[in-house]
Amino acid sequence: MSFLLGVAIFVVALLASIMLHEAGHFTTAKLFGMKATQFFVGFGRTIWSRQKGETEYGVKAIPAGGFVKIVGMTDLEDVDPADEPRSFRKQPGWQRIIVLAAGSFMHFVLALVLLFIVAAGIGLETASTGTAVGTVESCVPANLNSGCVKGDPASPATQAGVKVGDRIVSIGGLRVNSWTQMGKAIRSQQVGQEVPVVVDRHGKLVTLHATLASLPGHGSYLGVSPAAVFQRVGPVSAASYAGHEFWTMLSGSASVVTSLPKAIPDLFAKNRADTPGGQVTSVVGAGNITGQVLEARIGWQPKAALVLLIIASLNIFVGAFNLLPLLPLDGGHLAVVIYERIRYWLARLFGRPDPGPVDYRRLVPLSVGVFALLVGVGLLLIMADLVNPVHIQ
């Protein structure tokens, strides 16, 4: 149930992001007096729409994006002469640049707001000095750096019934007051031997019995991780955190794009999570990861923080990717407008006539090729996320 809730939360957040993106284009276009005839979420067959003024608002069957129809986006479009003065192509270059960039701008604003909420509303994570359990591992992994895979035995903590929030009081009769002491107490026990684990659960002492496992290079293994302490910070610190994380995520997005060619061969590898193929995912994979976060046996604060960070990261990636100078992306249209203005300024500098708008007919094959490539890569990522999903636990 938690998994499905996580996926649902991600889908709702994705649709909200799409609406904000299109609202950015729509609002700025209206602000500059351009005529926008449609505002839709999704593609394909229309399942609901409503006409209000000169704009039709609606939802289409495939929730894989959205669009705002602004009259006269290119010189290829036939426009009613009465609407030509309000067409996109007739507006000053700076206004067209703002309208085109407004979609990505909304993604960036949403990401910054979510990051601010993480710091100011949920709190920043610091290591606990006590023995409260923050995570109960579900398995005994092959090593500390690998996650659980099918066939791994259940962890001793899971089998013994240790729960998130328990405060461990003693292990094998050795009283512990810190995570360091607890680690030493665990490693001092014999592998395969049942030991009593006393926990403080909601003020009551409960004695559990765990048979410790062996983890290569680590020794005796119980399968618990410390609880994190979440400390809320003030507005200034929260804003600083949001800015720092925004830049970190933006840099990470660039790394993901540049590593994509290397990652494609690993998308269907058995150990995908440990390869570059584990660093790239589709919206299906991101929804799956969100579901795994809500299903994880951790406290509500790390769950909420991780979900918000996933959504923020997605918005930063989409916003940045959409600004790439490739048609049909917004960045491609931006590049065309900027090229037109530079060409105009140079012509004016040398006393030549305005060369006019770029001939979009020459750009159609490039636009179709890029679109086909994006669709192909997107479908490949979706297929990989369906048949070979990345597991974070």
SS3 119: helix
**Amino acid, single-letter form, for residue 239:** A
Q: Is 182 a member of any domain?
A: yes
Q: Is 202 a member of any domain?
A: yes
Q: Is 221 a member of any domain?
A: yes
Q: Which domain holds residue 152?
A: 133-226
Going along 184-259, which residue ranges are E strands? 194-201, 204-211, 213-215, 219-221, 224-226, 228-231
Task: Give the integer Cα–Cα distance in Å for 184 and 209.
Answer: 18
**Amino acid, single-letter form, for residue 43:** F
Count of domains observed in the chain: 1
User: pLDDT per residue over 185-238, tens digit each?
Assistant: 888 888 888 999 999 999 999 999 999 988 877 788 898 888 777 889 999 999
Tokens of 325: 């100078």
The DSSP 8-state label assigned to residue 389 in this structure reads -
Q: Is 208 a member of any domain?
A: yes
Q: How far apart are the first and last CA of the chain?
A: 17
Residue 187's nearest CA partner among 167, 208, 199, 171 is 171
Task: Give the integer Cα–Cα distance in Å for 331 and 65.
Answer: 16
Residues ≥6 apart with Cβ < 8 Å to 250 = 316, 320
User: pLDDT per residue over 8-55, tens digit each?
Assistant: 888 888 889 989 999 999 999 999 999 999 999 888 899 999 999 999
Q: Is 189 a member of any domain?
A: yes
Query: Which runs of consecutive H residues, i.e. helices, occur in 264-299?
Result: 283-295
Task: Give the integer Cα–Cα distance in Å for 231 and 238.
Answer: 11
Q: Is 145 a member of any domain?
A: yes
SS3 94: helix
For residue 77, indicate whether it is catalytic: no
List 22, 137, 245, 340, catalytic entry:
22
The DSSP 8-state label assigned to residue 352 in this structure reads P
Task: Give the integer Cα–Cα distance in Å for 167 and 181.
Answer: 13
pLDDT value at residue 247: 95
pLDDT value at residue 145: 63
Cis, bond preceding 328 (omega within 30 deg of 0):
yes
Tokens of 131: 């023995």
- Write down the pTM of the prediction: 0.78
pLDDT value at residue 277: 66
Angle value at C-alpha 115, between 114 and 120, nearest 5 degrees: 95
Torsion-angle region of 327 (φ positive above 0: left; ψ -120 to 50: alpha; else: beta): beta
- Give the chain's residues under pLDDT 50: none
Q: Is 171 a member of any domain?
A: yes
**C-alpha distances in angstroms, 144 versus 141, 178, 288?**
7, 21, 23
pLDDT value at residue 127: 66
Task: Give the integer Cα–Cα distance in Å for 305 and 313.
Answer: 12
- The domain that holds 147 is classified in CATH as 2.30.42.10
Q: Is 142 a member of any domain?
A: yes
Task: Give the integer Cα–Cα distance in Å for 230 and 301.
Answer: 7
**Amino acid, single-letter form, for residue 240:** S
pLDDT value at residue 146: 62
Q: Do the bridges between strand 167-171 and strand 174-175 make them parallel or antiparallel, or are there none, so unpaired?
A: antiparallel
Task: Give the integer Cα–Cα distance in Å for 334 and 93.
Answer: 10
CA dihedral 150, 151, 152, 158 (to 10 degrees): 90
